[in-house]
Structure 1
């Protein structure tokens, strides 16, 4: 099939493009249904609408959802609303509102749908760089394209899908920096060797544009939701470990202390300032207007900073108070919710989030049986999810045993996306938060699939057996996605059909 260069080029582009187009169909089809705000769309869509008109998130009258659903979208007040997530994700949602209008439900969700489509393409590109295989890249993008958690988070106007896109942009930049910095280190080593100079501490590499890009991407991720900071911090440590390993291989005598005292400060300056600037820029609307929440808190309460901090402009004093208040809210959010999911249960997918349900009796809303239902539930494809979790457990062993850099990179993303949530076991959180590290789970699963597929140099029986096994697994995953698709997209189906999807009692 790939016997000519032309066919190889078609496959190299065609595979990832095909799964991206599949993702587009699954995310854009009937996107405007239901024409009602679902789950936290009640916050983010309306906040995005006021952000676009006022420059800050404003309050709405009580029970405003019904009138908003009906097309009366201008009932917002001018008083600032206390929102606990930064504004970038809502600005991106506002782009869709600007194009389609707030009366059209497609306008509410088109931005997150496009983010989900781009995420599939990006994961395929990253997989191609990690595994040097178009087949594995196509599988990685394809699995994300058909997974229920990814589909749901692309079809509702929540922030987490947008967050995930920026996180994966940062991860891709980290991988590019790994190769770029290794090549520069090797050139430095050769020059030192040719000059007969010792290789003691190693250089401080300033020209690392991909590291700067990673800092920017993670800063923008943090400007969508604060857990983007975990990726900034986690991958900062990862790059230092990679730098130390590269210096050791290059023969640098003091490779550890060289990284700690020479490269680490440089890497900090290349990432953290641009991340901070990116975060602050997204708050421009709040700074240049007067109606935002806590915009004049210092002046109104007489709480101006004194002493050594008296020089700080009052605008930033107000901003700091806002951020501190939002942080206090985040760590203190314990209000019970019917679909809250303890992070200890996330990997087992014990309590997926039902975001929308509407029941109809015979003759209502086109229901042709005794009882129908329309559901949007963030149940990941069970075969993909549980298979990926099992693969991740195996990869922990594998990184210890073989120290493959691809496995280390994947597990780093998984760890910084998941482990920090174990510090907040009593906080009200949800299963759909897992979307931010699901691409790393899928990359881990695809890595294991690559091991099962084997190499072209393997014996024929081994190679054919691996191909057949993976083919059966992929067909099963596709069939399960087809089975669950109505529950991910709000299609009206008989109630008995919905109940067939409750594989665990806790999924009801």
Structure 2
């Protein structure tokens, strides 16, 4: 592996049109050395020989992987035509939100009736909910478009978000690694991965957490790029004036940080683990700001860094995120039917003393939030598919979302035993290679201080590490979708190191191309093999059993 980060891969691979030669001014009688190019490099250089082709690749590559993602997520989206796993909560909650503005109760054993089209049998009494309402509001948009009796409509919003997430992974990786090739590679892995496909075809909330956190991550990267340009301009001005401006520039005008705050508030408004991303991304932004100002000569412990810039990053993210979170409860505030909406009025303990002035609606809201917190922290009900966070990276217990067993002659079953399964098994090669790649990136971060590696690891850590505080809570493997994009970015970064540069020794270069090609081809083969297990395509039991490589996957 090369010791240099791959930051200009496209310039060295995709945008070159001729072999690398010695300078044209070499002495007349000295030999001119021409570097041997790998055949693929030479061909790729010819393909992107003009600026128009280069533009077509920069736009067309992301578009193609997004198209692949759309097909894999939208094909036969309405199957199965029954509520799958926790869709029994979120889909029905979404429909009562759409109709009432709050989550209402349903009669017992109503799932079959709901799937059959009886979607107006909900009650008016409020239902206690474990997660904020924003994700369910988004689910309701798809139901409003297609009708609540259409199973594809239940899942449409989740699928659309999953498709856009693939495009985001592609664009963010391209920005981080300065390579459209590696960006497209990351997007392709996200497009064909099993967990990403399953979570885009089942109407749960975790895909929305992933999506909003990913948008925030992209916004933070754009803010970093914009801020660095402004700092560079300030340094040039300082040097030209020949004076020491010790405080550095005040950077309040940072619209991308505002966007990040909005997106992180939205992530928290879907599920509270969005707050993990908010906390870690906010600290990361402050640390990056301090480091950037230190590089331009501002004293590390001076007021120019800690007391001036730190609050800027905080105020442009955290209060905005909090306001966004509260806004996601607009339906609860605007109606009187929500759970605990009139708790004080109905006899609850009104606050006294210095807090007696607080409006009843705020007291009711706080009481509800406290109840949700107590429920989530104390959730330890055993479940056959619960997965300890310590084992998440090993993918020890993927979640079975749906299984329908069939006998010979039943629904076209031509074997003694058939089945239709939706199982959240990630593409094994992509998953385990991505985990290994991120472990390798930890080494590169320590060894080379590569900022793009640090950013990727911050994203992965924000989605994973806080869960280690809740080892006794009932949690599931599919929660890892929230940080899977960063694992895949890490895989692309590591493959970029393996791939090397077109100017490398040709034998080393060819070996890198072969390794990356083998990873891509095997990933495609495994996705084709596992796709029936991700989409409930009916297969015989012998074929289904081949997919359970580890006993705990069953």
TM-score range, shorter chain: over 0.9
Question: How much does 1:256 deviate?
Answer: 6.6
**8 Å CA contact 1:189, 1:199 repeated in 2:** no
Question: How much does 1:249 deviate?
Answer: 1.6
**8 Å CA contact 2:282, 2:318 repeated in 1:** no
Please list, as runs of the form range in 1=range in 2, the aligned pairs for 1:429-444 lying within 5 A after superposition: 429-444=475-490
* TM-score of the superposed pair, with normalisation by structure 1: 0.98
**8 Å CA contact 2:268, 2:275 repeated in 1:** yes
Of 388, 391, 402, 2:448 maps to: 402
Question: How much does 1:195 deviate?
Answer: 3.3
CA distance in 2, matches of 1:315, 1:424: 31
1:448 alignment counterpart: 494
Secondary structure of 1:373 counterpart:
strand
1:111 alignment counterpart: 157
Runs ≥4 residues deviating over 4 A: none
* TM-score of the superposed pair, with normalisation by structure 2: 0.90
2:147 alignment counterpart: 101
**8 Å CA contact 1:452, 1:470 repeated in 2:** yes
Secondary structure of 1:299 counterpart:
coil
- For residues 423-465 of structure 1, give each alpha carbon's deviation from its aligned partner in whole angstroms, at most 9, with x where no partner exists: 0000000000000000000000000000011012212222222
2:375 matched to 1:318?
A: no
Question: How much does 1:400 deviate?
Answer: 0.6
2:387 alignment counterpart: 341
2:25 alignment counterpart: none
**8 Å CA contact 2:131, 2:270 repeated in 1:** yes
Stretches of structure 1 lacking an aligned partner (at least 5 in a row): none
**8 Å CA contact 2:289, 2:310 repeated in 1:** no
CA distance in 2, matches of 1:238, 1:255: 18
**8 Å CA contact 1:216, 1:274 repeated in 2:** yes
Please list, as runs of the form range in 1=range in 2, the aligned pairs for 1:139-218 lying within 5 A after superposition: 139-218=185-264
Q: How many residues align?
A: 508
2:38 alignment counterpart: none
- For residues 478-503 of structure 1, give each alpha carbon's deviation from its aligned partner in whole angstroms, at most 9, with x where no partner exists: 10011000000000000111100010
Question: How much does 1:318 deviate?
Answer: 0.4
Please list, as runs of the form range in 1=range in 2, the aligned pairs for 1:177-326 lying within 5 A after superposition: 177-254=223-300, 258-326=304-372
CA distance in 1, matches of 2:300, 2:84: 56
- How much is the aligned-residue C-alpha RMSD, in angstroms? 1.1
**8 Å CA contact 1:240, 1:259 repeated in 2:** no
CA distance in 1, matches of 2:239, 2:65: 48
Secondary structure of 1:467 counterpart:
helix
2:376 matched to 1:330?
A: yes
2:79 alignment counterpart: 33
- For residues 232-280 of structure 1, give each alpha carbon's deviation from its aligned partner in whole angstroms, at most 9, with x where no partner exists: 1101111112112211221223367533211111211111121111111
**8 Å CA contact 1:200, 1:254 repeated in 2:** no
CA distance in 2, matches of 1:185, 1:255: 18
2:53 alignment counterpart: 7
Question: How much does 1:192 deviate?
Answer: 3.0
2:421 matched to 1:368?
A: no
Question: How much does 1:126 deviate?
Answer: 0.4
**8 Å CA contact 1:33, 1:105 repeated in 2:** yes
Give the helix-richer structure, 1 or 2. Answer: 1
